[in-house]
Amino acid sequence: MTKISYQTMFGTIVLILGVLLLLRTTGIYDTIQLLEYIPSLFILLGFYALWKSKFSSLSGPIFLIVVFTTLQLFILDIISWEALTDWWPLLIIVMGIGILTERKGRLSVFRKSNETIDLFAVFGGVSSASNSKGF
CB distance 48 to 26 below 8 Å? no
Cα distance between residue 98 and residue 80, in whole Å = 26
Q: Is residue 130 part of a domain?
A: no
Over the chain (135 residues), the average pLDDT of each successive run of 10 is 74 89 91 88 88 76 86 91 85 78 55 58 60 67
Q: Angle 42-47-53 (CA atoms, 0-180°, nearest 5)?
A: 125
Q: Is residue 27 part of a domain?
A: yes
Residue type, 116: T
**What is the domain range of residue 27?**
6-124
Write the CB contacts of 31 (distance below 8 Å, at least 6 apart in sequence).
20, 21, 23, 24
pLDDT of residue 13: 85
Per-residue CA distances from 85 to 38, 63, 66, 74 (Å): 23, 18, 15, 12
pLDDT of residue 112: 56
- Give pLDDT tens digits for 1-38: 667 777 788 888 889 889 999 999 999 988 888 889 98
pTM for this entry: 0.60
Q: Is residue 40 part of a domain?
A: yes
Q: How many residues does the chain have?
A: 135
Q: Is residue 135 part of a domain?
A: no
Domains in the chain: how many in total?
1
DSSP assignment of 93-105: HHHHHHHHHSPS-
pLDDT of residue 1: 60
